[in-house]
Structure 1
Amino acid sequence: MHPAYPAFPKRYFVTGIGTDVGKTIAAAVLTEALQADYWKPVQAGNLEFTDTHTVQSLLSNSRSVFHPEAYRLQMPASPHTAAAAENRELRLEEIVLPETRNHLIVEGAGGVMVPLNNRELVLDLIQKLQLEVVLVSRNYLGSINHTLMTVEVLRSRNISIAGILFNGAPTPSSEKLILNYTQLSAFPRLLEEFNFDKAMVVRYAQTFQEYFKNHA
């Protein structure tokens, strides 16, 4: 029998400063740490092994529930392009937060300015769902600019940012500048690992559990 549901469940939208910065691994660690539910609203491409399947394969707890995507699109492309290839259009009103009393981790597609259709962006979805953002940042040439711009865009919509999750090899000077400029807190970092498996996710999840305990 599972323990009681959390009195104040955390609801995070995991987004990144761009594509391939590690959102899915970050989402898996957060989901394991909180034994949260997981939801990927829009999956574009890789339908045989989706991001939901990836997270599911990395978790060890038995509490997490995996909610079905609102949209499953064949083409590995921007959601508006993938939908158009199927003569479909994503409708924001059809992307409804799943009902759960548990913590919930929601994983976005790409960055906040990725178009869902010809009028609306991932940013609009975050605002509609009214979730707090975990921003995944990874160091590369231009990543400071991309991180600061993402923070500015989120703040322009009055979207709450829980903190920045740095993924990859540490770059202290860049990270210090980002944190000082934004005045955001940093989640525990994820390092460049040879292989992320269940054991690795559990190890990181323990660190995140300590973080949440100290930042309740």
Structure 2
Amino acid sequence: MKINPKEYIGKTIFITATNTNVGKTYACKKFLNYFSNSNLKVGYFKPIETGVENNTPLDGTRMLELTKKLNPDFEKVSINDCVPYQFTLPASPYVAKGNTYIDIEFLKEKKEYLQNFCDVLIIEGAGGLMVPIKKEYFMINLIKEFKTKCFLITPSKLGSINDTLLSIEALKNKNIDFEFFINLYEDINSFEKVSKPFLIDYFETLNFLQDL
């Protein structure tokens, strides 16, 4: 699939994945550079980051620094705008937040604020689709409430077929508009024989992050 950058002007893209450590931050970097190279002003937003050390959200800070290099208008954005909720425990937001109340309306306001400085806003989720934010509110609910396009990042390792299909079914059940991209980072040598034959037969075409 060839992404047409002009179709995303004024829009947001939520980067999620089948699980943690599948490559969401790497994907954000790829898409930030891709849209910037297409002469669009890019923005970045990570509503919640857990596992924060020394009061510094590592992923959010790295991506904000990159975004500022690509789009000088984002110099106005602080790390607290970019990553509103920061928690030290490396766990789901529901657990990591402790007694903190995560205000979804506040996050929607932050999203709208950041859109003032860019043509396309890349939003990075935490973990996979069913990572809990509240007792009965998951990352997939946040995607739906943001009314955003979703890019699902899937792995190349053994088990990727199951992980990919389950996540796609969840997105379809919520009527969320999405595309999926495979991150060739694990079991690369065996992917061609183990997983790709079914995936290519089932989907006919595959999108790889490494092709951006």
TM class, shorter-length:
0.7 to 0.9
* Secondary structure of the structure 2 residue equivalent to 1:98: helix
Structure 1 38/60 Cα, relative in aligned 2: closer, same or farther at 3 Å? closer
The residue that corresponds to 2:105 in the other structure is 93
Percent identity of equivalent pairs: 27
Which consecutive residues of structure 2, in runs of 5 or more, have no partner in the other structure?
1-5, 37-41
- 1:103 aligns to what? 120
- 1:7 and 1:144, CA in 2 relative to 1: closer, same or farther beyond 3 A? closer
CA separation in 2, counterparts of 1:184 and 1:163?
13
**Which structure 1 residue ranges, 5 or more long, are not aligned?**
1-5, 191-206, 209-216
| 1:122-133 aligned within 5 A | 122-133=139-150
- Structure 1: distance between partners of 2:206 and 2:172: 17
- Separation (CA, whole Å) in 1 of partners of 2:169 and 2:7: 31
The superposition leaves residues 27-55 of structure 1 with CA deviations (integer Å, 9 ceiling, x where unpaired) of: 11101111221110111122424211122
Partner of 1:201: none
More moved, 92-101 vs 19-28: 92-101
Q: Structure 1's 135 and 175: CA in aligned 2 closer, same or farther, altered over 3 A?
A: farther
TM-score, reference length from structure 1? 0.75
Q: CA deviation at 1:165?
A: 3.3
Q: CA deviation at 1:60?
A: 8.3
Residues 1:45 and 2:45 are matched in the alignment: no
The structural deviation recorded for 1:133 is 1.2
Identify the residue that residue 80 of structure 1 maps to in structure 2. 94
Q: Offset at 1:162?
A: 2.3
Matches within 5 A, 1:46-195: 46=52, 47-58=55-66, 61-63=69-71, 65=74, 67-84=81-98, 87-96=99-108, 97-99=111-113, 100=115, 101-168=118-185, 169=188, 171-173=191-193, 174-181=195-202, 183=203, 186-190=206-210
Q: Counterparts of 1:7 and 1:135 in 2: how far apart (Å)? A: 18
8 Å Cα contact 1:134/1:162 also seen in 2 = yes
Paired residues of 2:48 and 2:125 also in contact (CA < 8 A): yes
Secondary structure of 1:151 counterpart: helix
Provide the C-alpha distance between the structure 1 equivalents of 2:138 and 2:122, rounded to a whole number of angstroms: 19
Conserved 8 A contact 2:156-2:182: no
The 1:111–1:30 alpha-carbon spacing in structure 2 relative to 1, beyond 3 Å, is same
Change (3 A) 1:58 1:180: farther
Aligned-pair Cα RMSD in Å:
2.6
Q: Contact 2:93 / 2:133 at 8 angstroms: preserved in 1? A: yes
Distance 2:204 2:133 in 1: 28
Q: Does the CA contact (< 8 Å) of 1:134 and 1:165 recur in 2?
A: no
Is the CA contact (8 Å cut-off) linking 2:184 and 2:208 kept in structure 1? no
> Contact 2:47 / 2:125 at 8 angstroms: preserved in 1?
yes
Contact 2:57 2:86 in 1 (8 A): no
Following superposition, the deviation at residue 136 of structure 1 comes to 1.0
- Conserved 8 A contact 2:27-2:209: no
Higher helix fraction: Structure 1 or Structure 2?
2
The count of corresponding residues between Structure 1 and Structure 2 is 185
